[in-house]
Each structure stands twice: as structure tokens, then as C-alpha cells.
Amino acid sequence: MGRAFEYRRAAKEKRWDKMSKVFPKLAKAITVAVKEGGADPEMNAKLRTAIQNAKAENMPKDNIENAIKRASGKDIDEIHEVTYEGKGPHGVLVFVEAATDNTTRTVANVKSYFNKAGGSFVPSGSLEFMFDRKAVFEFEKKEGMDREELELSLIDGGLEELEENEGTFYAYADYTQFGEMNKVLEDLEIDVKKATLKRISNNPVEFTEEQLDEIEKMLDKIEDDDDVQAVYTNIA
């Protein structure tokens, strides 16, 4: 989604009590990471990132450790990562990423959110070229941190753009540079608050406040689904 809208949503989410929804999503991300690369964070960059993001959302250490243990067990259901694409109210484009143990349930639920809002699914792959996939690293601006020096240091990690918003830096790189950028930030001893792969619209569209209110109602429904991990739009 557009970055201005992303900041607006982030500010709004601070006012929402979403722990009951956020923690299961974070645990699912940990499960996927463990299944893919093992339970040792030192040897599994994806798990290291999932733990980092869980800590950023104040997920208790016990919850994180329990999620890793459960994911290491043999009796846990297989989690599949899936994506859905659709159009919502006023033609807004929406890209949904989910992690689920039951794809039939998830597709039915997500489809119903679009349908009830007057939207619909579009064929898989239709929106792929309309979003740039980026690695995004979020960290606080520390006192004495020189922006120009920081940018030069991060270029080795594939930095494409560095943005600042309300005392927080957002470093953007191509998604293929995720590991490289993460390593450079670690070497610089920068405490990354959150590290994610995001889909950013390459042709963001402006909507009126009234239209946004209607669109956000649908987005809230989608994001509240336990299986949905992330939602991206072409909102400016």
C-alpha cells in the first residue's frame, strides 16, 4: 500500500487492542520459519526475523519459546503460505498474504470479505506486476545518528531508499537483498525494531476520506482473520 497510508494505518493500530489477534499471527510466522529452516535462530535467518518481529510487538518470551517448541513437534498441522488478489470498494487493489492449515477455509473466508464489500477476487498473478516487493527495515533514529553516513553504510546492503517518519527510519531494499541488508544492520549494531518483506504499489491511487472509510472497513475484516498475515493495497 502507499507509504503515507501505511503510516496512517500504523498510527491507528497503536490505538487498537489487537494482541489477541497479533500473537497468533506471529506464532504462525515462527511456525513457518521453523518448518522451513529448523529451530535454531542462529542457523535460520527467517526464524531470527520472526522472533525479532514478535519481540517488537511485545510478545512474551515464553510465548515465543512455546511457539518454537510446538513448531518442532511432529504432530503439528502443516502450515501453507498462500496469496489472494482482489478488487475492493472504489476499485482499490488488494493483495493478501496468508498462512493456513486449511486453505479451503481461508479462501472461503477471504473471498467473503471481498464479496460483502462489493469487491471480488481477480485471477492469481493479475496484480503481481503492480506491486514492487521490498525488504523493509524499521529502526529508531538515535541521537547523533548522521543520515548521510548511515545511507552510505547501508548501500552495501542494497539500500534503495531511506525514509524518516516521526523519529523512525525505514530502510528499503529489493526483497532479494533481505539477508544482506539484515547483516549490514547487525554489523552496524543497529537495533532493528521490525524487518519485513512488503509489497508496495508502484502506481498508488488517491481516494477521498469517505472512500477510505469504506475501504478500511473491508481491510479491517480481512486483517482480523486469524489466517491473514499481511494486506497490501494501492492506496497512496
* SS3 readout for 183-218: HHHHHCCCCEEEEEEEEEECCCECCCHHHHHHHHHH
pLDDT greater than 70 at residue 17: no
pLDDT greater than 50 at residue 172: yes
CB contact set of 23 (below 8 Å; sequence gap of 6+): 57, 59, 63
pLDDT of residue 15: 43
Say if residues 177 and 136 touch (Cβ distance below 8 Å). Answer: no
pLDDT greater than 50 at residue 38: yes
Instruction: Give the confidence band of 76 by pLDDT, cuts at 50, 70, 90.
Output: confident
CB contact set of 16 (below 8 Å; sequence gap of 6+): none
State in Å, rounded, how far the first CA of the chain is from the last one. Answer: 7
State pLDDT tens for residues 207-231.
999 999 999 999 999 999 999 999 9
- Alpha helices in the chain, H assignment, sequence order: 3-14, 19-37, 45-56, 61-72, 103-116, 147-154, 178-187, 209-224
Main-chain phi, psi angles of 204, to 5 degrees: -65, 150
Instruction: Give the confidence band of 43 by pLDDT, cuts at 50, 70, 90.
Output: very high
CA distance 36 to 47: 9
Query: What mean pLDDT comes out for the span 115-131?
Result: 96
CB contact set of 111 (below 8 Å; sequence gap of 6+): 84, 121
pTM (two decimals): 0.87
